[in-house]
Amino acid sequence: MATTEVAQSEGLSIASWANAITTGRLLLSPVMFWVIPNHQRGAWIACVFWFVLCFSDFIDGYVARRRGPTAAGAFLDPLADKVLILGAMFTLVSTDVFWVVPVIVIAARELIISVYRVVVSGKGISVPASKLAKYKTFAQQLAVGFVLLPWTALDATWLWTGLLWTAVGLALISGAQYLNHARASQ
């Protein structure tokens, strides 16, 4: 018991409510990818499932801030976000809903920043998500969500297309900020 308390106080514990929520989001992501092609545009089941999974990101962050973040959570949460969002986007590319170019730009940015985080974490440096990166994630979630929302799927393509390109812009700007910060700290 004492070992668990020490591990939790040092942020090393894997077993936490926030990590359980994040793991659930990660494990349910493939179900989301299966639901999307069956309900490409405008299906309530896909829309509700998407927003529940996205809202779980907010919940696990809230729980982690209240109970204390863990090293496992710092790794799992961004991983779950990337799997869910990029998986959904590439699923929408495969069904000819999203154009592949903006999704590849977003995926490339995520890969570059993830590699950067891994490299600097080996030096003991933590790189938390910036505000701009959080806005980027939200724009990505909304772009997918509005494709799945029956009210906007077909009649408001400008909305989700605009959000997708907004996410691309935020991805490029926030990625450049991370890389500039890396250069400045060397």
> pLDDT tens digits, residue range 130-157?
899 999 999 999 999 999 999 998 889 9
Rounded distance between C-alpha atoms, residue 20 and residue 98, angstroms: 31
Structure token digits, residue 15: 């077993």
Predicted local distance difference test score (pLDDT) of residue 184: 76
Predicted local distance difference test score (pLDDT) of residue 1: 41
Question: Which residues are within 8 A (CB) of 36 and not within 5 positions of it... i.e. 6 or more apart?
Answer: 46, 88, 91, 92, 95, 148
CATH code, domain carrying 62: 1.20.120.1760
Domain count along the chain: 1
> For residue 178, which amino acid is it?
Y
Rounded distance between C-alpha atoms, residue 162 and residue 183, angstroms: 32
pTM of the model: 0.86
C-alpha closest to that of 88 among 42, 29, 38: 29
Predicted local distance difference test score (pLDDT) of residue 108: 97
pLDDT tens per residue across all 186 residues of the chain: 443 443 444 444 567 888 889 999 999 999 999 998 775 567 899 999 999 999 998 898 888 888 877 777 777 888 899 999 999 999 999 999 999 999 999 999 999 998 888 888 778 777 778 899 999 999 999 999 999 999 998 889 999 999 999 999 999 999 999 888 877 776
Domain limits for position 19? 2-184
Predicted local distance difference test score (pLDDT) of residue 75: 77
Rounded distance between C-alpha atoms, residue 165 and residue 173, angstroms: 12
Structure token digits, residue 136: 């980027």
